[in-house]
Structure formats: C-alpha cells, structure tokens
Amino acid sequence: MFILGFAGCIGALRENTFLLKFFSVFLGIIFFLELTTGVLAFVFKDWIKDQLNLFINNNIRAYRDDIDLQNLIDFTQEYWECCGAFGADDWNLNIYFNCTDGNPSREKCGVPFSCCTKDPAEDVINTQCGYDIRAKPQKDYINVKGCVPQFERWLQDNLTLVAGIFIGVALLQIFGICLAQNLVSDIEAVRASW
C-alpha cells in the first residue's frame, strides 16, 4: 500500500506518467482480485464454512499455547455470545478442557470464561465460571451456540452494511483509476503540443 500510494502521489506531483500508469494498473489488479474473491466467496460458501470450522478447531487446540490467540478467541466468544465452532463440546479438542478420564487438568469438562453468560449483577468477570460446566446436566450458564453459526447470522444481519462498504471501496478504487488515467492523458496531450 505504501508503494502504491507513493507511486500515485509522486506520479501526480511530478507528472510522471510511468508512476501514474503503475498506480492505475495495480489499483485495477487489486480491484479485480477483490471482485474475484467476493464472487468465489459467494460460490464456495460451504467450503469457506468448512475452512472457518477447521480454523476455529485448530485454534481451540492451541488455546493455552499463545496468549494473543487466547485473547482473540475470548473476544470472539464474548462478542458473538458463542462457544466453540459449533458448540461447547468442541472444547474437547483442547487437552486442558477435554472430558477424558485421564485428564488431570482442573479445567476438565469445562470451557473458557468467555463462553459463560454474563451476570449483570457482577462487576468482575468470574474466570472460573466455566469449570466442570459440561459435566453437569444443565448448561444454563454458558452460551451453547457455536461461533460459526453466530458469524453466519451476524453476516446475514449486516449484509447491507458489508455490501455497502465493499461497494464504497470499489467505487473509490474505480474513481482513483479514472483520475490517474485522466491525468496521464492530460500530461500526454500537453507533451504532444510542445
């Protein structure tokens, strides 16, 4: 982005047609890549859903290995009020949270605190609220919906906003391409009149 912005700015400032053409071509390539990605995402939405599920499950396995990943998963689960990819039982993939008899972890049959429903009366987050929660017959204290269905629902609810942002960005790119090409033609017309 820095190189592209630099080429457009210096090309316009110094009336350098090579830099302006470079700017225009690469902006067009980025536009068509975004357009292709959008079409492929629509056509292969089931494959993307499977990849998202695989991505979340791999991150569940590595939940305690990386603090940044842990914070990302906790934020996602709190924001969308979800737990796991398709449900709380996805946490069996993690060695600390699985429900096997040989698991010595204190978090056995539990979920992270980000899966817990928030009690409005509590000011401080109870980080142990998910302990042993999946071993109990009732799951009233955790979010039982998975993050993949919650993300799909969020996307459907905000489809107009997401589409508007994509269209706005696309229009800005097309406008930038048109301005760069117009400036190139003006520069070449002036040079031809010399």
pLDDT in tens, 133-165: 888 765 678 888 999 899 889 888 988 898 899
Task: Please state at what angle helix 17-43 crosses helix 2-13, rounded to 10 degrees.
Answer: 140
188: exposed, middle or buried (Cβ count in 10 Å: 0-12, 13-18, 19+): exposed
CA-CA distance, 175 to 63, in Å (whole number)?
Answer: 44
> Residue 134 corresponds to which tokens in the numbers above?
């999946």
| Phi, psi of 152, deg, nearest 5 | -60, -45
Can you say how many angstroms the Cα of residue 81 is from the centroid of all Cα atoms in its chain? 16
Backbone conformation region of residue 46, classed left if phi is above 0, alpha if psi is from -120 to 50, else beta: alpha
- Quick check: 76 and 147 in contact, CB under 8 A? yes
CA-CA distance, 157 to 162, in Å (whole number)?
Answer: 10
pLDDT at 83: 92
- The residues facing 142 across adjacent strands are 116
Per-residue pLDDT of the chain (194 residues; tens, 9 = 90+): 899 889 989 988 998 999 999 999 999 999 999 999 888 988 998 898 889 889 989 999 999 999 999 999 999 999 999 999 998 899 999 999 998 888 898 889 999 999 998 878 878 888 888 888 888 765 678 888 999 899 889 888 988 898 899 899 999 999 999 999 999 999 999 999 88
DSSP string for residues in 103-130: ---TTTT---GGGBPPPTT-SS--TTTT
- Please tell me the pTM assigned to this model: 0.69
pLDDT in tens, 161-180: 988 998 999 999 999 999 99
Residue 39 belongs to what H/E stretch? helix 17-43
Neighbours of 101 (CB within 10 A): 5
Residue 76 belongs to what H/E stretch? helix 67-79
